[in-house]
Structure 1
Amino acid sequence: MALFKKRTVGKPGEWYYCLEHKKVEEGPECPAKNRFGPYATREEASHAMETARERNLEWETDPRWHDAKPDGTDGTGEGDGRA
């Protein structure tokens, strides 16, 4: 007896963006590795790639995620590559 049933049909109202087919889907139609979501609305899912770009930019520019010390070194005795 399986502890978890594999969900093959999505719930109504769950929206996903399929990375493979580049389209919005209601309920997970494609494997999890190929989708973003769930989103509350079709509109949110349609902007999934924009949302991901914005979040990536925030992460890349967040000083809390960088190991560089104030003196420009990375703590290994090497510079961080900045000129």
Structure 2
Amino acid sequence: MALFKRRTVGRPGEWYYCLKHQKVEEGPECRAADRLGPYATREEAAHAMETARERNVEWETDPKWHDTGAGQGKGGGEEE
């Protein structure tokens, strides 16, 4: 049992999207692992999942992240 429990105090004007409760929060109410943000506005936080999906598509289609260097691609194994 912990002797001291850290309480996360929210800051006015910082908005988060809680993944666990699927809702927008002003200031962090839930633990960091369960939220996205901070966002500057409530509106931005409300679209957090959409923003994350768009960024994932950008990253998945970015040619810099899809190297087919040695040990990958054709022949699929280790370098000889």
- Give TM-score, length-normalised by structure 2: 0.80
- Look up the match of 1:21: 21
**Counterpart Cα distance in 2 of 1:66 and 1:41:** 34
How many Å apart are 1:22 and its aligned residue? Answer: 0.2
Given the superposition, is the C-alpha separation of residues 28 and 80 from structure 1 closer, same or farther in structure 2, using an over 3 Å criterion? farther
RMSD: 1.9
Runs of 4 or more consecutive aligned structure 1 residues displaced over 4 Å after TM superposition? none
- Give TM-score, length-normalised by structure 1: 0.77
Identity of aligned residues (%): 73
- Look up the match of 1:34: 34
Q: Give the unaligned 5+ runs of structure 1.
A: 1-5, 69-73
Given the superposition, is the C-alpha separation of residues 65 and 21 from structure 1 closer, same or farther in structure 2, using an over 3 Å criterion? same
How many Å apart are 1:63 and its aligned residue? Answer: 0.1
Q: Give the unaligned 5+ runs of structure 2.
A: 1-5
Residue correspondences, number: 71
How many Å apart are 1:8 and its aligned residue? Answer: 2.1
